[in-house]
Structure 1
Amino acid sequence: MPTFETRIVLSRPRVQVFDFLVRTSNLIDLIPKDSGMQVISVPEIIEPGSRLEFRANAFGQTLDIVHEITELVTPEKITEVQVKGLFKKFVHEHVVEEGPGGEVVAIDRIQFEPPGGLLGFVVTAKRIQDQFASLFNYRHQQMRRLLG
C-alpha cells in the first residue's frame, strides 16, 4: 500500500502541539484556501469516534469525504480513517514525539490505496503523493506561523 510521510520540528511543548491538533478550528486554518476543500461538519474538539465531514473538488470531481477518529492517545497520536471518499483505503496518523534536544516532532503518516476503476488510471499513487506534498508544505508553513 502506498504511503506518504512528512514531519515538522517545532519549539513548543508536546502537550501544546497536540492540543493544537485536536482543535478543529486550527486544522481548518491548515487547509489551503484554494484547495477546493469545504468543511461541512466537524466537532470543536476531536475525540475517539468523532466524524469530520468535508466536500472537496479533487481530480475533476466533487466528493463528499468523511473521516472518523479511531484512536486518540494524548499527547501522542491521533488516527483518522476515511469512511467515505475518494480512496479505497485511507489511514492518517498524526504522531507527536519529543526530539532528543527537547524539540517536538509532529509526524503525519498516511497509508492509502488509490481509487479504482477509470479514475484510478488518472489518480495514481504518485499523483496523490505529489498532492499530499503540496498540501503539507502549506500546512507546515501555517503551523510555523501559528505555533512559532
Structure 2
Amino acid sequence: MPTLKFELTLAASLDDLWAFHQDVSRALPLLSPPGSDVRIIAADLPARVGQQVKMNVRGPLGKRLNWVASIIEFEPPSRQNDSRQARFVDVQLSGPFAAWRHEHQMEETGPGTSRLIDIVTYRVPLGPLGKVADWMFVRRQLESMFRHRHAVTRKELEGGRG
C-alpha cells in the first residue's frame, strides 16, 4: 500500500496544535480542500479511542460519498524522552478507499513551536485499475489536500504569522 508523509513546523505550541485537531466539527471542514464540501453528519465527542466521525463529502465527478472514520490510537500530549509529544491514528471504516490509515504525530520542537507529521497509508479500490488511478491522479490529489491542510493549520494557529 502506498504511504505518504507530510511535515509542517509551526510557531504554535503543541497544546494549541493538539486542541485544534481535537475540535473535529470545526477543524475537519476547515482542513478539507475547497470543493470537497465536507459535512459532518455525526462526531462522537470528546475524542478518544473508538471515536467515530461520520461525514459526507463531494468525491470524484461531484458525486457525494459517505465516509466513516474511527480513532484507533490516541495519545494526548505528554513528555516522552526529551520532548513533549502527542499522536492519534484514524482509519476508514467505510468510504471511498479500499483502505485508509492516517497517523497524526505532533511534537514540541521548542518554546512555542511544534511539528505536525501526517503519515497516510491507503489503497485505492478497483485492483489494477485503482493502481493506475492512484498513479494518474489520486496521489496528486492527496498531496494537494495535505498542502491545503497544512496551509490552513498554519493560518489558524499562527494567525497570519510566518
> Normalising by structure 1, what TM-score?
0.87
The alignment status of 1:128 with 2:129, answered yes or no, reads no
The answer as to whether partners of 2:12 and 2:112 remain within 8 angstroms in 1 is no
Distance apart, 1:126 and its partner CA: 5.0
- The 1:10–1:38 alpha-carbon spacing in structure 2 relative to 1, beyond 3 Å, is same
Q: Is the 8 A contact 2:29 2:37 kept in 1?
A: no
In structure 1, the partner of 2:42 is 41
Name the SS of the counterpart of 2:12 in structure 1: coil
1:54 is displaced (CA, Å) by 1.3
- Cα distance in 1, alignment partners of residues 142 and 15 from structure 2: 26
Q: CA deviation at 1:132?
A: 1.1
**Cα distance in 2 for residues equivalent to 1:119 and 1:37:** 26
What is the percentage of aligned positions where both structures have the same residue? 27
Task: Give the whole-Å Cα distance in 1 for the aligned partners of 2:16 and 2:72.
Answer: 21
Q: Is the 8 A contact 2:12 2:114 kept in 1?
A: yes
2:23 match: 23
Whichever of the two has the greater Rg, that structure is 2
Deviates more, 1:21-30 or 1:37-46: 37-46
Which stretch shifts more, 29-38 or 4-13? 29-38
Partner of 1:68: 70
CA spacing shift, 1:119–1:39, aligned 2, 3 Å:
farther
Task: Find 1:83's aligned residue among 76, 93, 105.
Answer: 93
How far apart are residue 41 of structure 1 and its match?
1.5
Superposed CA deviations along residues 58-85 of structure 1, whole A, max 9, x for unmatched, are 2234321100011110121110010001
Asked whether the equivalents of residues 2 and 125 of structure 1 are also in contact (C-alpha less than 8 Å), the reply is no
TM-score normalised by L of structure 2:
0.80
Amino acid at match of 2:22: V
Which structure 2 residue ranges, 5 or more long, are not aligned?
78-85
Match of 1:110 among 111, 120, 124: 120
**Cα 1:72–1:41, aligned 2, differ >3 Å: closer, same or farther?**
same
Which whole-Å deviations, capped at 9, do the CAs of 1:65-111 have from their partners, x for residues lacking one? Answer: 10001111012111001000111111000000233687311011000
Aligned mates of 2:5, 2:109 — CA distance in 1: 17
Residues 118 and 36 of structure 1: CA distance in aligned 2, closer, same or farther (over 3 Å): farther
1:13 aligns with 2:13: yes
